[in-house]
Amino acid sequence: MNFELTQDQKEIQALTRDFAKAEIEPHAAEWDREHKFPRDLFAKLAELGVRLCPTNAAAARLAAALAAGS
């Protein structure tokens, strides 16, 4: 069985890594301290063609953040 990423998968990996480094990493500590996550990042990810499928734990944290008005 071959577990190596395809070229398309490698491109998606690079795209999302670059996005995270540019758009998320510089603000992550602040967002963690303030318990918020900006909703506009979802739109930016969607523009790149990235759709998120959060885990149950991630979905719970996101729901809590949205309920808090983040």
Summarize pLDDT for 26-49 with one digit per residue, the tens. Answer: 999 999 999 888 888 888 988 888
Count of CA atoms in the C-beta half-sphere (13 A) of 54 = 9
Does residue 33 lie in a domain region?
Answer: yes
Number of domains in the chain: 1
Does residue 29 lie in a domain region?
Answer: yes
* Whether pLDDT at 15 is above 60: yes
Does residue 3 lie in a domain region?
Answer: no
Range of the domain at 42: 8-67
pTM value is: 0.66
Does residue 23 lie in a domain region?
Answer: yes
Using an 8 Å Cβ cutoff, are 41 and 24 in contact? yes
- Mean pLDDT, the chain, whole residue set: 84
